[in-house]
Amino acid sequence: MKIPLARPEIDETDREAVLEVLSTPFLSLGPKINEFEEAVSRYVGTKYAVAVNSGTSGLHLSVRASGIGKGDEVITTPFSFIASANCIIYEQAKPVFVDIDPQTLNIDEGLIEEKITERTKAILPVHVFGIPCRMDAIQHIAKRHNLIVIEDACEAIGAAYKNKKVGTFGLAGVFAFYPNKQITTGEGGIVVTNNQKMADLMKSLRNQGRSPAGKWLAHERIGFNYRLSDIHAALGVSQMSRIEKILEKRKRVASYYMRHLANIEEIELPPTPPETEVSWFVFVIRLRPRLKKSHRDRIMHLLQKKGIECGNYFPPIHLQPFYRKMYGFRKGSFPVAESVAERTIALPFYNYLSEEDIRYVCDSLKEALVSINS
């Protein structure tokens, strides 16, 4: 048996949508971009959306369009995919890490204020694994200190905090659509905002600095090629048309896991904090703190031997070689994030994963736990 870690759900309507674009001359900068942007902004409840070629590009444009630059500091989390910190460095600003809450795995908002300095320009919270941050507390801190908020919601489209969609709390929010995400465009991302000036600037920046209404070879500013093709956008439009059904399927898969893994002493299940609607991006369990990284690695090896793909989400950003060298981080800098990272196991998770396969994964995990304890 072979059970992959992640797989996109592509149906016949998705294929037809892409083929329809291929029969037109508009493979890029065509009408599907606007259609996709309108679908996403309508769904999350913002005035504007700017489609780009990746979530990383969306984060970079959000930082740049916010005026964050050399010497500025941005508070963020060390427990995330590396793009959420790299996008700050792209603009010669400095990521200032805050340790995570041991329950939600998101940035611990109670520790943010002690990291604020006169150089602090923004807070960049990450809704890790589709679990919303406590955005009211973060907004309160930001307002008190006159800081920008940029939400990394790349893993969290459809998630909500206190009945409000994530990505809509700050100046900008970013979603990503890599094939392992809730919906996919193959490669792609999108920035949502209620600020027209920011949206217009990002549309220029994504297209080599051209004015949206300007001539092809007229460049008003330094920009980038962060465009999303109409081929990708068409796939996004098709996927957005059934996003609620997709999210419901993922919720059902998560519920199967929750049921089959309930009451296992050695593991902690993913959190579902109060007043939140989780958007299930991945299903990540944690071993209890008494178990070590060597136990986790042994369990992953045993699962992989049985054809079950799994991952260790996420190695802490601050312990990546580049960050160690550039900023002098070392083990012990953010103990909660480090402890969690050594005990996580991402289990196979995608829309059409059957309960039979989930049972096989869970039974194999239980066998592996028995093995390390024997």
Q: pLDDT digit string (tens) for 282-318?
A: 999 999 999 999 999 999 999 999 999 999 999 999 9
The confidence score (pLDDT) of residue 60 equals 98
- The answer on pLDDT for 108 being more than 80 is yes
Mean per-residue pLDDT, 5-31: 97
284: enclosing H helix or E strand: strand 283-287
The confidence score (pLDDT) of residue 358 equals 98
The confidence score (pLDDT) of residue 339 equals 98
* Confidence at 48, pLDDT banded by 50, 70, 90: very high
Q: Which CA distances in Å does 31 have to 12, 22, 24, 54, 212? A: 21, 13, 11, 19, 14
As a whole number of angstroms, the distance between CA 368 and CA 302 comes to 6
pLDDT above 90 covers a percentage of the chain that reads 97
DSSP 271: P
The confidence score (pLDDT) of residue 274 equals 95
| Owner of token pair 């042994």 | 298
* Confidence at 366, pLDDT banded by 50, 70, 90: very high
Is 181 catalytic? The answer is yes
Residue pair 236/254 in contact by the 8 Å Cβ criterion: no
Domains (range + CATH), the chain: 12-98+106-240 (3.40.640.10), 243-373 (3.90.1150.10)
SS3 141: helix
CA contacts within 13 A on the Cβ side of 23: 6
Q: pLDDT digit string (tens) for 152-177?
A: 999 999 999 999 999 999 999 999 99
The confidence score (pLDDT) of residue 279 equals 98
Q: pLDDT digit string (tens) for 258-292?
A: 999 999 999 999 999 999 999 999 999 999 999 99
Among the listed residues 181, 205, 179, the one whose alpha carbon sits nearest the alpha carbon of residue 191: 205
- The answer on pLDDT for 211 being more than 90 is no
Mean pLDDT of the chain: 97
Structure tokens at 178: 């890599």
The confidence score (pLDDT) of residue 216 equals 82
- The answer on pLDDT for 256 being more than 80 is yes
Among the listed residues 2, 7, 3, the one whose alpha carbon sits nearest the alpha carbon of residue 282: 7
Q: pLDDT digit string (tens) for 190-201?
A: 999 999 999 999
The confidence score (pLDDT) of residue 374 equals 74
- The answer on pLDDT for 212 being more than 90 is no
- Active-site entry in 32, 165, 181, 249: 181
* Confidence at 111, pLDDT banded by 50, 70, 90: very high
* Confidence at 213, pLDDT banded by 50, 70, 90: confident
Q: pLDDT digit string (tens) for 175-184?
A: 999 999 999 9
